[in-house]
Amino acid sequence: MVNRVVVGAHYGLRDWMIQRITAVVMAVGSVALAGYLLLKGRFDYDVWTGLFASLPVRTFSLLFLLSLFYHAWVGIRDVVMDYVKSAAVRLVMHVLVILALILYAIWSVQILWGM
């Protein structure tokens, strides 16, 4: 393979948009959770289990976490692209990050649904 500068992977816009959309989901989720806890006025085991007993809360929490993982993927990939110059090492790191994030997603489901 000749060593030339190659650009033109057509996912710039998609990932840029997803990063923004996931940021909105996380912002709404964070404010909603903080607001709920402030209104509740206390923060103990009963409040916490009561909150997560609700299916919509669990569902939105999963959406929040999936948003976090995708958001993190775009951010970490950008950092790796900037600092790791070897394409082979970069590929390995990208795969490891993706696998870790998929594992976190599975783990999140397990935690939220108490398996």
CA distance 97 to 31: 28
* Residue recorded with tokens 């912002």: 27
Give the binding range for another protein (CB under 8 A) out of 7-15, 40-48, 63-71, 99-107.
7-15
Question: Which sign, positive or negative, has the C-alpha torsion 26, 63, 75, 97?
Answer: positive
CA distance 23 to 29: 10
Q: Is 21 in the site for another protein (CB under 8 A)?
A: no
Q: Is 87 in the site for another protein (CB under 8 A)?
A: no
Instruction: Find out whether 61 and 52 touch, Cβ atoms under 8 Å.
Output: yes
Q: Is 78 in the site for another protein (CB under 8 A)?
A: yes
Q: Give whichever of 57 and 98 is closer to another protein, judged by the CB atom.
A: 98
Q: Is 45 in the site for another protein (CB under 8 A)?
A: no
The binder of another protein chosen from 13, 53, 55, 106 (CB under 8 A) = 13
Q: Which residues contact 3 (CB under 8 A, 6 or more apart)?
A: none
Q: Give whichever of 19 and 108 is closer to another protein, judged by the CB atom.
A: 19
Interface residues with another protein (CB under 8 A)? 5, 7-17, 78, 81-82
